[in-house]
Amino acid sequence: FFIEAFKLFIIFLLFIFFNLIYIYILHIAFVIQLPQVGSFILQQNAITSVTIQILYATVLTIFSISLSLVVYKIIVMSSWLKRLFFGE
């Protein structure tokens, strides 16, 4: 079981690696800053604050990468948009 899970993880990392430039180009459109969330996190004690920050960053990262890949798949359907955004 461990070896299969490791293989799936490697495949996932390779998928991210080969799409990294597209994620890098598109991710900035999906990164959001919510001052209310930041204020709430900073009001917590040190351990809770760090834990919430890590969870918040992880969720935002997954959200940003996922949307970047979805938008990339939509963009490459059009040859004009593909050329405009990625120069391909």
Helix H, strand E, coil C: the string for the chain is CHHHHHHHHHHHHHHHHHCHHHHHHHHHHHCCCCHHHHHHHHCCCHHHHHHHHHHHHHHHHHHHHHHHHHHHHHHCCCHHHHHHHHCC
Q: What is the mean pLDDT of residues 22-42?
A: 85
What pLDDT, on the 0 to 100 scale, is given for residue 31? 80
Tell me the percentage of the chain whose pLDDT exceeds 70.
100
Supply the mean pLDDT for the chain: 88
